[in-house]
Amino acid sequence: MSFKNHFYYDEQTCEFVPVSNSRKDQILYTACIWIINGVIVSTIGLSLLSNYVGTPSELALASENKILIEQLAETKSTIIDMEEQVQEIAGLDNEMYRSVLGLDPIPYEERQKGTGGADPYEEFDVYSSEASEILRWTSSQLDNLERKINIQKLSFEEIKYYYNQNQEKLRHLPAIKPVSGILLSGYGMRMHPVLKYRRFHEGLDFRADIGTDVFSTGEGTVKFAGRNGTYGLLLVIDHGYGYETRYAHLSGFAEGVKKGSKVQRGDLVAFTGNTGMTQGPHLHYEVILNNKPIDPLNFLFADTTPEEYLMYQDISKNNPMSMD
C-alpha cells in the first residue's frame, strides 16, 4: 500500500499540495493496516468457530467423548458374550447337574427376574442421547449379570450341599464317559443305518475301534454279560437307586467281569467291538432309570467340561443317523 494521490490544502498558496512521506513512514503505515485487518479477521474467525464449531477445549472434550462412546460400544459386545456364557452355564445347571441329582430346575422367569420401582438409570439422562442410551444399556446389563451370577452361585451351593449329603447315592450314579472316543450320535429319533428307517435311538453312540477299553460309569453290580440279539455282546450294570447302564456291540469282557461282579466307577469292564446289528465298530451306551431309557448325555458331567458338553449336545441334536 502506498501514499500516492494523498493531498492536503495549503491555505497560503490556496492549492492542494501532495503529501510527501518517507519510506519508513510508508512501511509503518502498511504494517499497521495489515495488523488491524488481521485482528479484525481473527476476531471474526474465532467468533464463528466458537459459535458454530466450538472452542478448542470443547473440541477436545467432544473428541474424548467420541472415544469413550466407542469404548463403551466395544464393552457392549463383551457384555453380550458374557451374557451368552452365563445362559449356557444356567442351561447346564438345569439340564445336567440339577436334573441328574434330582433337584428341581430353577425356572427361567426366576433367573431373568429384574428390579422394579423407579427408573434406576435416570442419572444418565443429563448426557447426550447416544451416551445416555449406551450407559443405560450397559448399567442395566451389568446389573442383570450380577443378579444371574448370584442366583447361579446359590444354585451351586445347593448342589454342593446335596452332594455332601448324598455321597453314597452319587457314587452309584453313571457320571462319566464309558469310552474316550467322541460322540457320533445321540438319544432320540434317528435313521437306522441297516434297517433304513427312523426309529427311537435309546442311547449314545461313541466312536471306538475294536478292542477299545470300556469303563463302568458308576459303582454297581453286573446284571448281565453275554449275547443279546441286535445288541450283540451286551454288558448291563445295576447301579441301584433305579439306575442301570448298558454297553452294547462289545468284542469281549474284562477279566473277572461276569454276572454278580462288583464294579466301581472307572473300572475296566469290557472292550468295544462290532457285534450285533451295527454299521461299524463303536460303543452303544444307555442309561436306564426305573426301567425306562433316559438321555445319557445328561449324565456325562463328572469328566466332561461345559465346552465338551455343548459340543456333544450339538452333535446329538444335528446328526440324523445312528450307528445301530
pLDDT of residue 9: 64
Report field, pTM of the whole predicted structure over 0.95: no
Residue 176 cell numbers, joined: 462319566
183-318: CATH homologous superfamily? Glucose Permease (Domain IIA) (2.70.70.10)
Q: Domain spans of the chain? A: 7-53, 68-165, 183-318
Is 298 within 8 Å of 102 (Cβ atoms)? no
First to last CA, the chain: 104
Q: Give the tens place of pLDDT for each residue, 18-45.
A: 666 666 666 766 777 777 767 676 666 6
Q: Give the tens place of pLDDT for each residue, 198-210.
A: 999 999 999 999 9
Question: Mean pLDDT, to the nearest integer, of 174-199?
Answer: 92
Q: Is the confidence at residue 225, as pLDDT, over 70?
A: yes
Integer Cα distance of 242 and 86 in angstroms: 33
DSSP 96: I
pLDDT of residue 66: 74
- For 197-204, the CB contacts below 8 A with 24+ separation are 201/322, 201/324, 202/286, 202/293, 203/246, 203/248, 203/284, 203/285, 203/286, 203/287, 203/293, 203/296, 204/284, 204/285, 204/286, 204/296, 204/297, 204/316
Picking from 49-58, 157-166, 242-251, 276-285, which range would have the lowest pLDDT averaged per residue?
Answer: 49-58
